[in-house]
Amino acid sequence: MAWAAAVAILLVGLLFLFNRRAAYPALALVAIIGITVALATALQPSTRENTKDAITAKVSVDPAACTDPSKQLAVEFLNGNNTAVQRVSFSLIGRLKGHSSIAYRGFLRDDTIIAPGQASMTCQGLLPLGFAPPRPARINTEDYDWSVDISLVDFSPR
């Protein structure tokens, strides 16, 4: 992208040296194309972020919802978008209560299809290598403050 802009500026500069009358329309054309590309590029990530931000998640230790003792954490996703979600990649983060440093981080994925405006709940277990050293000998999920950080969302094709 930067190379294309540099070449365009160089060509317009050379055109100014040889024929100023033809250089002004060329300069206007290059400026219009540059502004259009810059606006399209600047707006595209924010649109992508807004759609990803419409997916929210929360995690809790819920023995009633998650009866499997190896999967004690209930993660609930809410699709606030107008497009169905095919897959969500996320980090499950645990901090010891009263501490700010991360004691556990697991990178997980859920492939449950979530319709627009709907919620989905999944039970997740802890990855054995997700704990920061030294790994605790006995793990009680209620000793941690849990949070979810969504990193990637795959939407269904329209």
11-58: per-residue pLDDT in tens? 777 777 888 787 788 888 888 988 888 887 777 665 555 566 788 999
Residue 157 backbone phi and psi in degrees, to 5 = -65, 145
29 membership: H or E segment, kind and range: helix 20-53
Average pLDDT, the chain: 85
Residue 98 has pLDDT above 70, yes or no: yes
Domain ranges of the chain: 2-51, 54-155
Q: To 5 degrees, how large is the angle CA 110–CA 111–CA 114?
A: 100
Q: Write down the pLDDT at residue 27.
A: 81
CATH of domain 54-155: 2.60.40
Backbone angles phi, psi at 143, to 5 degrees: -80, 0
Asked if omega into 134 is within 30° of 0 (cis), the reply is yes
CA atoms within 13 A on the CB side of 105: 8
